[in-house]
Amino acid sequence: MTQKAKMPTKNDTSKPILIHGNQAIVEGALAAGCRFFAGYPITPATEIAESMAVRLPKLDGTFIQMEDEIASLGAVVGASLSGLKAMTATSGPGFSLMQEILGFAYMTEVPCVLVNVMRGGPSTGLPTHPSQADVMQARWGTHGNHTSIVLAVSSVADCFSITVTAFNLAEKFRTPVIILSDEVIAHTRERFIRPAAESLEIINRVKPAVPPEWYIPYEDTVRGVPPMAAFGDGYRYHVTGLVHDMHGFPTENQDEIRAFYKRMGRKISHYAAEIQMVNNFYTDDADITIIAYGSVARSALQATETAREKGFKVGLLQLITLFPFPCRHVENVLHKSKAVIVPEMNFGQISQEVKRVNSRQCPIIRLNRYDGNLITPDEIFEKIHEVL
Amino acid sequence: MPLTTHLVHQYLRHDKKFPHVWCPGCGNGIALGALIRSIHHLGYNRDDIVLVSGIGCSSRMPVYVDFNTLHTVHGRALTFATGIKLARPHLKVIVIMGDGDAMAIGGNHLIHAARRNLNLTAIIMNNNIYGMTGGQHSPTTPYGMRSTTSPYNHIERAFNISELIVTAGAGFVARGTVYHAEMLHVLIEKAIQKPGFSLVEIITHCHIQYGKLNQKGTHIDMMKWQKDHAVTVEKAQKMTIEELKDKFTIGVITDQNLPIYYDEYEKVKQRAQLSEK
């Protein structure tokens, strides 16, 4: 009798597995403690919902397919208000539909994670092709004054670790966090070794330490992030999308309105340095620096390495945090470089942000592609060659 | 101490800045009173009640009461309620909406919530108009009536909320009016107790917008209209179609036991966990 060799399963942490970006996002979310997912089918994000439908009930979590993307984010906010770490995932058209409730989550400071696997748009656009054209929508998509945290993933390993980070930031700052992926990362299978659970830093929201009668649900704390009680914990309080005072009640008092918006801005801006994550590759002595994010950063890294092999001083600044825009890191390379190249699968969205912080008039060269295809290493290398 | 004073002390928020936003003579307060009486009578712990609402006059209800309260976005209250109920099934989740909120912008969520049959209670305040925005026609504005957006009379037919939700598959549907206040808390009580999705449609009046635009008189006149045109479900069964022509029924319209989403999902969890072993 022959015995079959034991195949590595998803549960073995030590053995390498072959998974795609969408699956890695699910693994990251579950490792971070996500126990609620509501979603609606949409290419190229659907596999996230499908994997959640399989995995969550095994962990006593809840998966629900809602009637649309609006309902999906509504259910996620409801679950988070009731104490669960919750997530949804979508693509362009669904992301557009979610904008109003995304604003509600900012306004009421409800931690949640929203994944947008970017595809070509506007409208139905290019459902099975990658794009990076939702960057500014992720920053400014919902109406009104708000701060946002937007992270970009560029590999299967990123999909896992950045999703864990996204949950940590959401819980720490009581805010929605948006992960921007794209069709290339979503469907590219890569070797992945899941980190041991003990090695992961997991942050949970701060709960009130005071008795219910002392609880001030939107208190202006030192960090600007009030402790969050879950519905059913005995802290009965009011949650509203209207501008509210620190007790959670609607207000039209201008002092209270100002205090509210100031705290909302401060809780993110004062901690921007810890939120702004980048990877520097050969930037120390680079004459030409590429600033890239998402799948394009992979092409950019290869182009950078090719250039280095040929003796050119080229570096790559990979942005993981797109917003709050990592100004200091970008300024640093703008000061050191003779030119900066910004390749993007859009008309130029992050390049505008780079220009905004470019006080020293460093030449900024755009490389844009919007034909539904990934920018290749060769294209970036050619651009480097032109600039040299 | 009269019961009302006792209930006011027990259930209204002491730290909330009153007065409320409703016009004098509005039916929303009567409905809120009925809701509080039903919860009081059922003896639920206030910590276990979540009152969720959308946007509109009636959706301002939660802010005044001392429960877990959530004032969401226009039309989507049921989606938030779905997340709350699935995350913490022991909570009693009650959703307050208006006719524009529930039937126009939120119509899709309402029919799906009814079909899904999660343990939620939806209360729809139907005053046939958008009150808060100033008297525009809603999906329940009757044909031929006037609103600020149908100044030459309304040319669409109205939804019948309760019948629609029966068809959508709800286990429990009831209709009441703010005139029949004593009946109202009984209906709400039954709805809250019913396992699965339950709906109470409350016929109320907006004498400020709908009433003025259509010469329906004062709030008292409009409540008298409710009295004269409401027929109990039991009585309606003995009446002819001709007699029922301009009437509407009040009472329990449907009450049936259907598979409940949460129980079904528990089975899903068991199947998923068995497959793991």
Q: pLDDT confidence of B148, banded at 50, 70, 90?
A: very high
**pLDDT digit string (tens) for A81-93?**
999 999 999 999 9
A contacts of B69 (beta carbons < 8 Å): 236-239
User: Hey, which CATH number is domain B3-276, 3.30.420.80, 3.40.50.970, 3.40.630.30, 1.20.1070.10?
Assistant: 3.40.50.970
**pLDDT digit string (tens) for A103-161?**
999 999 999 999 999 999 999 999 999 999 999 999 999 999 999 999 999 999 999 99
Distance from CA of B13 to the nearest CA of A (A): 10
Which pLDDT score is estimated for B276? 77
Tell which of A239, A246, A247, A252 to mutate to test the B interface (max B CBs under 10 Å): A239
- Cβ of B83 within 8 Å of Cβ of A36? The answer is yes
Which pLDDT score is estimated for A10? 52
Which pLDDT score is estimated for A336? 95
- Decide if pLDDT at B256 tops 90: yes
Distance from CA of B194 to the nearest CA of A (A): 20
Q: pLDDT confidence of A6, banded at 50, 70, 90?
A: very low
Residue among A295, A345, A297, A344 nearest A317 (CA): A297
User: What number of CA atoms fall less than 13 Å from residue B165's CA on the CB side?
Assistant: 32
**pLDDT digit string (tens) for A198-208?**
999 999 999 99
- Decide if pLDDT at B2 tops 80: yes
Q: pLDDT confidence of A388, banded at 50, 70, 90?
A: confident
Mean predicted confidence (pLDDT) in B132-157:
97
- Decide if pLDDT at B257 tops 60: yes
Mean predicted confidence (pLDDT) in A3-12:
48
Give the ipTM: 0.97
Distance, CA of B218 to CA of B212 (rounded, Å) = 8
Which pLDDT score is estimated for A8? 43
Distance from CA of B71 to the nearest CA of A (A): 5
Tell which of A73, A82, A216 to mutate to test the B interface (max B CBs under 10 Å): A82
Mean predicted confidence (pLDDT) in A63-85:
98
What's the alpha-carbon Rg for chain A, to the nearest Å? 22
For chain A, list the domains and their CATH numbers. Answer: 17-199 (3.40.50.970), 277-387 (3.40.50.920)
| Pairing status of strand A176-182 against strand A62-65 | unpaired
Q: How far apart are the first and last CA of chain A?
A: 66
B contacts of A38 (beta carbons < 8 Å): 82-83
Yes or no: say if A106 and A176 are a contact pair by the CB < 8 Å rule: yes
With a CB-CB cutoff of 8 Å, which residues 242-271 of chain A face chain B?
242, 247, 249-250
- Decide if pLDDT at B27 tops 50: yes
Provide residues of B within 8 Å CB-CB of chain A.
13, 15-17, 46-48, 50, 52, 62-63, 66-73, 76, 78-88, 90-91, 108-109, 112, 265, 268-269, 271-273, 275-276
**pLDDT digit string (tens) for A338-361?**
999 999 999 999 999 999 999 988
Distance from CA of B214 to the nearest CA of A (A): 32
| A62 vs B62, B68, B265: nearest CB | B265
- Decide if pLDDT at A215 tops 50: yes
- Decide if pLDDT at A296 tops 90: yes
**pLDDT digit string (tens) for B80-97?**
999 999 999 999 999 999
Yes or no: say if A62 and A52 are a contact pair by the CB < 8 Å rule: no
Yes or no: say if A101 and A73 are a contact pair by the CB < 8 Å rule: yes
Q: Is A100 on the interface with B (CB under 8 A)?
A: yes
- Decide if pLDDT at A315 tops 50: yes
- Cβ of B50 within 8 Å of Cβ of A101? The answer is no
Average pLDDT, chain A: 96
Per-domain boundaries in chain B: 3-276
Q: pLDDT confidence of A11, banded at 50, 70, 90?
A: low
